[in-house]
């Protein structure tokens, strides 16, 4: 009996120890709806911080790149009031870019912001090359810059871009095959 309890204890410890490893292993996901094909990937720091490549069937399969970021920071007013001008500086893959805050909304105990990095982009080899140049060890990093970082308790995110080129072309091909 003692032997079984010890083994069970180690088995449970081993299972709990491995659970976070499995949680980080989400692959690229392709979703479809009536108007869009979406390639998305969960964040490595906060899993709900998904990055989306949203292909528009009505617009020649051009796509938007955006992500959601969650904060529980105790902000003085709702984020949509703080970001009145709708612009935010990010360091995205080592390059400073000006992004657009599309919306903010209360969510759970905090708020979530939808931030557009690029809009109405045609898929091209140049786009793929630009993304590859911004990667470090297959990770795309994002840090909210300047005065905006103070509104987020975790103002950074990483996404694994392993197999990105294959997956973005797969999503694009599905869009082309399903254009309206």
Across the chain, the runs of DSSP E, i.e. the strands, are: 29-32, 36-41, 51-56, 63-71, 87-92, 95-107, 110-121, 139-144, 156-160
> What pTM did the predictor assign?
0.81
Q: pLDDT tens, 25-38? A: 479 999 999 999 99
Q: pLDDT tens, 140-178? A: 999 998 888 989 999 999 999 999 999 999 999 999 999
């Amino acid at each position: 009996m003692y032997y079984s309890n010890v083994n069970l204890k180690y088995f449970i410890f081993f299972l709990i120890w491995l659970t976070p490893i499995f949680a980080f292993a989400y692959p690229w996901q392709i979703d479809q709806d009536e108007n869009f094909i979406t390639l998305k990937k969960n964040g490595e720091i906060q899993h709900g911080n998904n990055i989306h490549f949203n292909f528009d069937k009505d617009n020649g399969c051009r796509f938007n790149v955006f992500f959601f970021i969650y904060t529980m920071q105790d902000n003085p007013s709702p984020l949509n009031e703080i970001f009145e001008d709708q612009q935010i500086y990010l360091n995205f893959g080592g390059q400073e870019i000006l992004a657009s805050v599309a919306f903010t909304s209360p969510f759970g105990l905090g708020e979530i912001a939808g931030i557009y990095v690029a809009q109405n982009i045609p898929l091209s080899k140049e786009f793929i090359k630009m993304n590859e140049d911004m990667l470090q060890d297959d990770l795309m990093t994002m840090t909210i810059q300047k005065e905006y970082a103070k509104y987020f308790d975790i103002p950074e995110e990483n996404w694994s871009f392993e197999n990105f080129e294959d997956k973005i072309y797969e999503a694009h091909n599905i869009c082309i095959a399903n254009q309206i």
